[in-house]
């Protein structure tokens, strides 16, 4: 978890430096697309900060009022992150579209440099955050990686728009502003996806069918297990909590049934690290 916090802080530093660079160069070079991409990077500083807060709060241990821990704070952070992105995307799109009508200044060619550097830096952050986010099951870190991916995509769009304006100012002078508008739309689309995925976790959406099948397979591999009647799972932060209805020989003692259930619980947690805990209900198997 400490590694995840370090990555979140690294994302804030990189995004902050890129935002300063692109906003400054965009203003000096009269490029709306570069400035818009810079403001998009500025929002990344805030969203990465939210991710850091979520990671800290989500790791708090379970207590009397939160027996499943505080993991869902991290999912709520992902939902808030999506809302902030939607607002930022709307502002960027509006500014890019309203400024296109009065544009008369040709952007300077050196504005291309910060965009290329930003695209490469964001590509590295996407790989770093997405890989580690999936390893620890962090919704907000994966969402932050997606946000960096959109920042990279917006950089490509801004670069294309700026290149058109530089290639033929007489025909494509407004392309730079339209590029800023496109960047805003991309950010809004990303926000919708992030909020949708976070909402699904809050609604106790179960993991994919393959993961559910794996839980059943591990349970059935335990000695003296006759069958699995029901299996449910819900995400409470970084990991899933599983409810399992286990079928055993109806003639054995309660103590023996309890020992089987304990073995199933321990085996699932050992073999499936993305499972936090298993609540086992023991039922008779009638063949």
Report, as an integer, the average pLDDT of 150-169: 82
**Percent of the chain residues topping a pLDDT of 70:** 93
CATH class of 2-202: mainly alpha
The answer to whether the CB of 141 falls within 8 A of the CB of 238 is no
pLDDT of residue 278: 94
Kindly indicate the confidence band of residue 243, based on its pLDDT and cuts at 50, 70 and 90: very high
**At residue 231, does pLDDT exceed 90?**
yes
Residue 264 CA from chain centroid, whole number: 32
pLDDT of residue 52: 74
Burial class (CB in 10 A: 0-12, 13-18, 19+), 16: middle
The answer to whether the CB of 78 falls within 8 A of the CB of 143 is yes
Q: Across all residues in the chain, what is the average pLDDT? A: 82
Which segment of 1-5, 141-145, 175-179, 254-258 scores lowest on mean pLDDT? 1-5
pLDDT higher for 71 or 250?
250
The pLDDT tens digits of the residues spanning 89-129 come to 888 788 777 765 555 677 888 888 888 998 999 899 888 88
Helices (H), 59-111: 72-98
> Which of 31-40, 136-145, 249-258 holds the top average pLDDT?
249-258
pLDDT of residue 188: 87
Tokens for 72, please give them: 């869902």
pLDDT of residue 198: 78
pLDDT of residue 38: 84
The answer to whether the CB of 151 falls within 8 A of the CB of 70 is no
Domains 2-202 and 209-284 share a fold: no
Residue 138 φ then ψ, to 5°:
-90, 115
pTM strictly above 0.85: no
Tokens for 63, please give them: 């207590």
pLDDT of residue 102: 57
pLDDT higher for 51 or 240?
240
Residue 124 CA from chain centroid, whole number: 16
Burial class (CB in 10 A: 0-12, 13-18, 19+), 233: buried
The answer to whether the CB of 15 falls within 8 A of the CB of 46 is no
Report, as an integer, the average pLDDT of 126-146: 76
Report, as an integer, the average pLDDT of 65-87: 78
CATH topology of domain 209-284: Alpha-Beta Plaits (3.30.70)
Report, as an integer, the average pLDDT of 156-162: 84
Report, as an integer, the average pLDDT of 246-262: 93
Q: Determine how many CB atoms are found less than 10 A away from the CB of residue 286.
A: 8
Give the Cα separation of 127 and 148 in Å (integer): 10
Give the Cα separation of 69 and 24 in Å (integer): 44
pLDDT of residue 259: 95
Angle at 16 between CA 13 and CA 18, to 5 degrees: 110
pLDDT of residue 37: 80
> Which of 47-56, 98-107, 133-142, 277-286 holds the top average pLDDT?
277-286
Domain locations along the chain: 2-202, 209-284
The pLDDT tens digits of the residues spanning 15-27 come to 889 889 988 988 8
pLDDT of residue 253: 92
């Amino acid at each position: 978890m400490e590694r995840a916090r370090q990555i979140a802080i690294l994302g804030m530093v990189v995004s902050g430096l890129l935002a300063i660079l692109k906003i400054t160069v965009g203003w000096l070079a009269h490029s709306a697309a570069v400035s818009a991409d810079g403001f998009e990077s500025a929002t990344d500083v805030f969203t990465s900060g939210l991710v850091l807060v979520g990671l800290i709060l989500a790791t708090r241990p379970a207590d009397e009022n939160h027996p499943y821990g505080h993991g869902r704070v991290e999912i709520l952070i992902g939902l808030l992150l999506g809302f902030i992105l939607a607002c930022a995307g709307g502002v960027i799109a509006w500014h890019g579209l309203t400024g296109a009508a009065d544009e008369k200044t040709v952007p300077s060619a050196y504005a291309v440099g910060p965009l290329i550097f930003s695209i490469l830096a964001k590509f590295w952050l996407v790989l770093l955050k997405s890989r580690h986010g999936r390893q620890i099951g962090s919704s907000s870190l994966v969402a932050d990686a997606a946000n960096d991916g959109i920042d990279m995509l917006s950089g490509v769009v801004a670069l294309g728009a700026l290149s058109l304006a530089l290639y033929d100012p007489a025909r494509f002078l407004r392309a730079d502003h339209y590029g800023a508008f496109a960047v805003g739309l991309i950010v809004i689309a990303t926000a919708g996806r992030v909020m949708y995925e976070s909402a699904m976790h809050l609604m106790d959406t179960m993991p994919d069918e393959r993961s559910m099948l794996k839980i059943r397979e591990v349970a059935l591999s335990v000695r003296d297990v006759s069958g699995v009647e029901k299996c449910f799972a819900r995400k409470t932060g970084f990991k899933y909590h599983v409810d399992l209805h286990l079928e055993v020989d109806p003639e054995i003692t309660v103590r023996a049934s309890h020992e089987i259930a304990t073995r199933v619980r321990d085996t699932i947690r050992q073999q499936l690290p993305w499972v936090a805990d298993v609540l086992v209900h023991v039922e008779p198997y009638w063949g």
